[in-house]
Amino acid sequence: MLILNKTAGVFFKPSRRKIYAFLGSFHFHPGKLFLHKLVLGIETSCDDTAAAVVDEAGNVLGEAVHSQTEVHLKTGGIIPPVAQQLHRENIQRIVQEALSASEVSPSELSAVATTIKPGLALSLGVGLSFSLQLVDQFKKPFIPIHHMEAHALTIRLTNKVEFPFLVLLISGGHCLLALVRGVSDFLLLGKSLDIAPGDMLDKVARRLSLIKHPECSTMSGGKAIEHLAKQGNRLHFDFQPPMQRAKNCDFSFSGLQHVIDKMIMQKEKEEGIEQGQVLSSAADIAAAVQHTVACHIAKRTHRALLFCKQRGFLHQSNAVLVVSGGVASNLYIRKALEIVTNATQCTLLCPPPRLCTDNGVMIAWNGVERLRAGLGILHNTEGIRYEPKCPLGVDISKEVGEAAIKVPRLKMKI
């Protein structure tokens, strides 16, 4: 049963004429036989409109995505009504492209799985409204998907990973550490108390005006920082990793961001340049920021691994750490995590970059996992709402803090 959330909102309704035109645009494939069940996944929780068809065996039959990054880069961040409008303009085409690429018609689907939580209300509403009309028209089961659960389980599509495993999700909107015990069985060990690391890197990149840097103008903030950091010397700046005294697995990035902001202001004065111009020390700042963020993430993850091992939550000999989200594509941060997994005899796994960021495949795959486990498959969608805020699993972060595990110092030579 779905728990309704107070913040849940009203659906957006595309016109009937549009829907009929959409449905009429499909070519049906009589006589074609699919050996496996097929799930269509739809994702609109933030700024990507994405859809994919995945079969029961994990084969991706087709996918399509429309990224809004370029528009949001220009405005310096996501403006929800703009994101909503872009989802509205693209969802029909994206779903159609995913189905056409798969050579699957809606009638051949076993279910439709759609992100309904957490995310931007206006964005979630577009995907949900569209999906409800689709399942109603074709009399298909509906599988509501939790965006973070989908990120966490993606690795089981690409690698043979059994439960339980530890997952670290780091992106522009997410920052959490969770133990994954089953398809819908999660223990939350820690999360960011303020902003996510990707958000912080985006803010620092904006403050450094990296969009004006000839090599970085089309890159996301995080990618620009990684790129410039390679040319810089991190030792020219000394930023302290946050929360060093708190022996838990929570994260914090906004304090560090303010320290960096102050440092940038001071450098601008020293170099005699206006805000909006690129500092000559931008690469050094990028290198120091990246290193500090990597150390902070590595330390919290190290503690989570030790906590899980101490409690017998993970296999003693074959513990797995999965890292996903846009920030997981940062090779410097991955190396820092590799130092941690090597020190704790764990295996580090990351989905391929295209599956680390928001995508339709992870939603369809979560639908497949739920279909196979017989969990959360709705034949009646009455009263279903999207939920902009929704925690992941059972929060045991307080217990983790009470265990106060001291993490051995590791040499972060990256």
The residues binding Zn ion (CB under 5 A) are 358
For Zn ion, give the closer residue by CB, 104 or 333.
Answer: 333
Among 358, 364, 367, 392, binds ligand KG4 (CB under 6 A): 358
CA 28 vs CA 67, 131, 162: distances in Å:
28, 19, 37
CB atoms within 10 A of CB 184: 16
Closest CB 126 distance from ligand KG4, rounded Å: 16
Cα 88 to Cα 317: distance, rounded to the nearest angstrom: 48
Among 127, 173, 190, 360, binds ligand KG4 (CB under 6 A): 173
- Token match 């580090």: residue? 348
Closest CB 28 distance from ligand KG4, rounded Å: 35
CB 68 within 8 A of CB 83: yes
Query: Taking CB under 6 A as the criterion, which residues in 29-68 touch ligand KG4?
Result: 46
Closest CB 411 distance from ligand KG4, rounded Å: 22
Q: Which of ligand KG4, Zn ion, none binds 202 (CB below 5-8 Å, type-dependent)?
A: ligand KG4
Query: Taking CB under 6 A as the criterion, which residues in 270-329 touch ligand KG4?
Result: 325-327, 329
Cα 391 to Cα 387: distance, rounded to the nearest angstrom: 10
CB 61 within 8 A of CB 42: no
- Strand 347-349 and strand 320-324: pairing? parallel
For ligand KG4, give the closer residue by CB, 47 or 55.
Answer: 47
Closest CB 171 distance from Zn ion, rounded Å: 5
List the x/- string, 216-235, binding to ligand KG4 by CB under 6 A.
----xxxx--x---------
Residue range at the interface with ligand KG4 (CB under 6 A); choices 197-205, 253-261, 279-287, 378-386? 197-205
For Zn ion, give the closer residue by CB, 140 or 191.
Answer: 191
Residue range at the interface with ligand KG4 (CB under 6 A); choices 56-64, 74-82, 182-190, 214-222? 214-222
312: exposed, middle or buried (C-beta count within 10 Å: 0-12, 13-18, 19+)?
A: exposed
Position 171 contacts ligand KG4 (CB under 6 A): yes
CB 362 within 8 A of CB 153: yes
Residues that bind ligand KG4 (CB under 6 A): 46, 171-174, 198-199, 201-202, 220-223, 226, 325-327, 329-330, 357-358
